[in-house]
Amino acid sequence: MGKVLLMEKNHSSFGLFQAMGMPQEAIMCYRHAVQARPNYAMAYGYIIEYGNYADAIACYNEVLRIDPMAADGLVNRGNTFKEMGRVSEAIQDYIKAVVIRPTMAEAHANLASAYKDRYIFWVVCASYIFSFMVHYLLQLQNFAVDMSKKL
């Protein structure tokens, strides 16, 4: 129980330090949280918000070691790879994320963007179209659920 409370405390402190423009203090809070709960995958994502690319990749690798099915972790690591100019690795992560969570519009859109950077235009078109289809199909599904509740 003490570790969970520590995580909550550090999570709140992170937001406070982040809002105050104190990134080093914010990162320190999350490092303490990760020490308290090493298997809490989401904490690693917050650590890299102000970190460098090498730290970011190391953190996302840890997230994916803890939870290999973390589609968000794959997309975020892919985004970091893309920022570093390692587009092929980004594409691999986006594809894995799409396989894990086919309805994740962000993964499809990022995949299309990465393909665009690699000048593979026919795949770009297909990826963007699929991204939009997933997005709107999910909205339609939510609308149908809302309507069925009203009946």
Domain segments of the chain as ranges: 1-149
On the 0-12 / 13-18 / 19+ scale of CB atoms within 10 A, 7 is: buried
> Length of the chain, please?
151
- The answer to whether residues 131 and 108 touch, using CB atoms and an 8 Å cutoff, is yes
pLDDT value of position 143: 80
Q: List the pLDDT tens digit at each of the 151 positions of the chain.
A: 333 333 344 445 666 777 777 777 777 777 777 677 766 666 665 655 555 788 888 888 988 988 899 999 999 999 999 988 899 999 999 999 999 999 999 999 999 889 887 766 666 666 767 777 777 778 888 887 887 887 7
Report CA-CA distances (Å) from 101 to 29, 43, 107, 130.
31, 21, 9, 13
User: Scanning the structure block, which residue is given the tokens 């994320």?
Assistant: 97
The Cα 124–Cα 122 span in angstroms is 5
**What fold, for 1-149?**
1.25.40
Amino acid at 63: V
pLDDT value of position 93: 98
pLDDT value of position 101: 95
The Cα 60–Cα 58 span in angstroms is 6
pLDDT value of position 48: 59
Task: Show the CA angle centred on residue 39, arms to residues 102 and 6, nearest 5°.
Answer: 120
pTM surpassing 0.75? no
pLDDT value of position 8: 41
pLDDT value of position 40: 63
> What per-residue string of b and e applies to 67-88 under the rule 16 or more CB within 10 Å gives b?
eeebbbbbbbbbbbbbeeebbe
